[in-house]
Amino acid sequence: MIKNIYGAKFRELRKQQNITLTKAAKDITSKSTLSLWENGKDNLSFNQVLELLKHIHTQPIEFIENIISSDLLSLSEKIHLAYVASDTVTLHRYVIKDM
Protein backbone atom coordinates (compact mmCIF):
# COMPACT_ATOMS: atom_id res chain seq x y z
CA MET A 1 0.00 0.00 0.00
CA ILE A 2 1.12 3.58 -0.70
CA LYS A 3 1.49 5.66 2.46
CA ASN A 4 -0.99 8.43 3.14
CA ILE A 5 1.53 11.26 2.58
CA TYR A 6 1.17 10.78 -1.16
CA GLY A 7 -2.54 11.56 -1.17
CA ALA A 8 -2.05 15.19 -0.18
CA LYS A 9 0.51 15.73 -2.95
CA PHE A 10 -1.81 14.05 -5.44
CA ARG A 11 -4.67 16.36 -4.36
CA GLU A 12 -2.44 19.40 -4.81
CA LEU A 13 -1.44 18.36 -8.34
CA ARG A 14 -5.01 17.40 -9.25
CA LYS A 15 -6.37 20.76 -8.12
CA GLN A 16 -3.61 22.67 -9.96
CA GLN A 17 -4.96 21.13 -13.15
CA ASN A 18 -8.61 21.71 -12.20
CA ILE A 19 -9.37 17.98 -12.38
CA THR A 20 -12.36 16.88 -10.32
CA LEU A 21 -12.35 13.95 -7.92
CA THR A 22 -14.87 12.22 -10.17
CA LYS A 23 -12.73 12.58 -13.29
CA ALA A 24 -9.52 11.53 -11.50
CA ALA A 25 -11.14 8.47 -9.91
CA LYS A 26 -12.99 7.29 -13.04
CA ASP A 27 -12.65 3.53 -13.63
CA ILE A 28 -10.00 3.22 -10.87
CA THR A 29 -11.67 3.80 -7.52
CA SER A 30 -14.66 5.60 -6.09
CA LYS A 31 -14.76 9.35 -5.65
CA SER A 32 -15.17 8.88 -1.88
CA THR A 33 -12.19 6.50 -1.61
CA LEU A 34 -10.01 8.91 -3.57
CA SER A 35 -11.09 11.75 -1.28
CA LEU A 36 -10.27 9.66 1.80
CA TRP A 37 -6.82 8.84 0.38
CA GLU A 38 -6.13 12.47 -0.47
CA ASN A 39 -6.99 13.37 3.13
CA GLY A 40 -4.77 10.68 4.64
CA LYS A 41 -7.64 8.51 5.87
CA ASP A 42 -7.30 5.55 3.51
CA ASN A 43 -4.73 3.71 1.42
CA LEU A 44 -4.63 2.75 -2.23
CA SER A 45 -2.63 0.08 -4.00
CA PHE A 46 0.47 1.02 -5.96
CA ASN A 47 -1.27 0.08 -9.21
CA GLN A 48 -4.22 2.33 -8.40
CA VAL A 49 -1.88 5.24 -7.73
CA LEU A 50 -0.11 4.67 -11.06
CA GLU A 51 -3.44 4.72 -12.87
CA LEU A 52 -4.58 7.84 -10.98
CA LEU A 53 -1.38 9.64 -11.99
CA LYS A 54 -2.28 9.04 -15.64
CA HIS A 55 -5.59 10.81 -15.04
CA ILE A 56 -3.79 13.92 -13.81
CA HIS A 57 -1.15 13.76 -16.55
CA THR A 58 1.74 13.18 -14.16
CA GLN A 59 4.58 10.72 -14.62
CA PRO A 60 5.35 8.53 -11.56
CA ILE A 61 8.95 9.78 -11.41
CA GLU A 62 7.78 13.41 -11.38
CA PHE A 63 5.36 12.61 -8.57
CA ILE A 64 8.03 10.93 -6.45
CA GLU A 65 10.65 13.62 -7.13
CA ASN A 66 8.14 16.31 -6.18
CA ILE A 67 7.49 14.63 -2.82
CA ILE A 68 11.18 14.05 -2.13
CA SER A 69 11.99 17.69 -2.94
CA SER A 70 9.29 18.86 -0.54
CA ASP A 71 10.56 16.57 2.22
CA LEU A 72 14.15 17.75 1.76
CA LEU A 73 13.10 21.40 1.82
CA SER A 74 11.13 20.82 5.02
CA LEU A 75 14.06 19.03 6.65
CA SER A 76 16.53 21.76 5.67
CA GLU A 77 14.20 24.40 7.12
CA LYS A 78 13.97 22.50 10.41
CA ILE A 79 17.75 22.16 10.60
CA HIS A 80 18.22 25.85 9.80
CA LEU A 81 15.77 26.91 12.53
CA ALA A 82 17.46 24.64 15.06
CA TYR A 83 20.88 26.01 14.08
CA VAL A 84 19.76 29.64 14.38
CA ALA A 85 18.22 28.88 17.79
CA SER A 86 21.36 26.97 18.88
CA ASP A 87 19.07 24.02 19.60
CA THR A 88 21.73 21.32 19.88
CA VAL A 89 19.24 18.68 21.02
CA THR A 90 17.28 19.00 17.78
CA LEU A 91 20.46 19.23 15.69
CA HIS A 92 21.78 16.01 17.23
CA ARG A 93 18.60 14.24 16.09
CA TYR A 94 19.58 15.01 12.50
CA VAL A 95 23.21 13.87 12.78
CA ILE A 96 24.00 10.70 10.86
CA LYS A 97 26.16 8.51 13.03
CA ASP A 98 28.98 6.32 11.73
CA MET A 99 29.65 8.45 8.67
User: SS3 for 73?
Assistant: helix
Q: Structure pTM?
A: 0.69
- 3-53 pLDDT per residue, tens: 467 899 999 999 999 999 999 999 999 999 999 999 999 999 999 999 999
Q: Check pLDDT > 90 for residue 91.
A: no
Q: What is the pLDDT, as a whole number, of residue 35?
A: 97
Which residues lie closer than 8 Å to 8 by C-beta, 6 or more apart? 38, 39, 40
Partners of residue 44 on adjacent β-strands: 2
Q: Would you say residue 2 has pLDDT above 50?
A: no
Contact 10, 38 (CB under 8 A): yes
85 or 3: whose pLDDT is higher?
A: 85
Identify the band that residue 65 occupies on the pLDDT scale cut at 50, 70 and 90: confident
Q: Which of 54, 30, 32 is nearest to 41 (CA)?
A: 32
